[in-house]
Amino acid sequence: MSEYAEPRGRVFDVQRFSLHDGPGIRTVVFLKGCPLRCAWCANPESQRPEPEIAWFASRCIGCGRCVEACPEGAIRLADGVVETDRRLCTACGECAAACAREARRLMGREMTVDEVMDEVRRDAVFFRRSGGGVTFSGGEPLAQPAFLLEALRRSRRWGYHTTVETCGQVRWEDLREAAAHTDLFLYDVKHLDPERHRECVGCDNRLILENLERLLAEGARVTVRVPVVPGCNDGAADFDALARFAAAHPAIASMELLPHHRLGDHKYEALGRSAPAVGDGGGSERLDDAAARVTELAGVPCVVTRGTS
C-alpha cells in the first residue's frame, strides 16, 4: 500500500471558458486563502482559508429548510425572516445542500488534485483548439503550495498550458518550485510606493518586488497586472512610476491595467461583512491613454484588460 497522501486543497470556484486569465480559452481554479487584505477586493470569499457560508437574501423565500438542516442550531426563522448566528456556524454545508434556491452557498470545499483535474480535463478540447490551458488563481494559490505544485505537475503531464496568478507575498522557495511547472505568471503589483502599499493592502511591497525580480532573473515569463483603484494608484504620477519600473525591468513580457469594479459588493453582505468604501473605477478612456503611455515610455506592451474576475 502506498504511503503517498494526495494533497487536498480548499477550492472556492472552478470557472470554465475564461478568456482573461492567460492565453486562449482557460479553466480557472480559484484557491482559498490570501495573505493580503486589499481594500478593494472583489472576491471576499477568497480571503480566509476556511470554508464559509454565504447567504444571498434576495434569493431566499423563507421556506425554513436551512433551519431544519443546520446541526448546530445556528439558523432560525423569525416572522418569515431568516437569521444566522455565525458564531455557531461551522460551515458544514448542510444548509446549502438543503436550499433549493441556492440562497445559501458553501464558499470553499476540499478537493483532491484528481478531482480538480477531472474538471479541468472536460475542457481539454478547447485548450487544444485555442492555445489555452489551466490557470490557478485565488486568493493566493501559493498559500496552498503542496496542492498547487501537484496540480501544476499533473497539468504539465497532460500537456496543458499552465498559468499562475499570484500577489507575490509568498515564500520564494515555493514560488521558485512553482516556476519550474508554470508557463506564465500573472503577477499582481498593487502599488510601487511601500507606504501607500501598506495603507491599501496591509503590508509593504518589499517581498513582492523582490520575488518579482527573482522570477524575472530566472527566466520566468511574467505579465505584470495592476488593479487600478480610485484614490490608491490611479494618478498620473502612479502611471509614470509604473512606466519607469517597467523600463527598468525589460524582462517583463507585458503589462495589464485592470479597472476597479464593484461587482463583488453583494458577496460581502452575503458573508456578513461590510463592502469596501472604494468608488467605481470609471475613466476607461484615461486608462487607455495611460496604457499607451506606459507602452511608449517603457517599451513593454501594456493594455487595459476588462472583464476579469
Tell me: the pLDDT tens digits for 210-246?
999 999 999 999 999 999 998 899 999 999 999 999 9
Residues 26-67 pLDDT 10s: 999 999 999 999 989 999 999 999 999 999 999 999 999 999
- Contact assessment for residue 224 and residue 185, using Cβ atoms and an 8 Å cutoff: no
Which parts of the chain have pLDDT scores under 70?
1-4, 279-285, 307-309
Write down the pLDDT at residue 286: 84
> At the fourth CATH level, which superfamily is domain 8-49+109-304?
Aldolase class I (3.20.20.70)
Write down the pLDDT at residue 280: 58
Does domain 52-107 correspond to CATH entry 3.30.70.20? yes
pLDDT over 90 percentage in the chain: 85
Amino acid at 243: A
d(CA 256, CA 127): 22
Write down the pLDDT at residue 102: 95
Angle (nearest 5°) at CA 152 between 148 and 153: 120
- Contact assessment for residue 142 and residue 175, using Cβ atoms and an 8 Å cutoff: yes
Q: For the CA atoms of 70, 71, 77, 78, what is the dihedral angle to 10 degrees?
A: -150
User: Residue ranges of the domains in the chain?
Assistant: 8-49+109-304, 52-107
CA distances for 289 relative to 229, 250, 258, 283, 297, angstroms: 16, 21, 14, 10, 12
Is the fold of 8-49+109-304 the same as that of 52-107?
no
234-271 burial string, b = 16+ CB within 10 Å, else e?
beeebbeebbebbeebeebebbbbbbbbeebeebbbbb
Write down the pLDDT at residue 3: 52
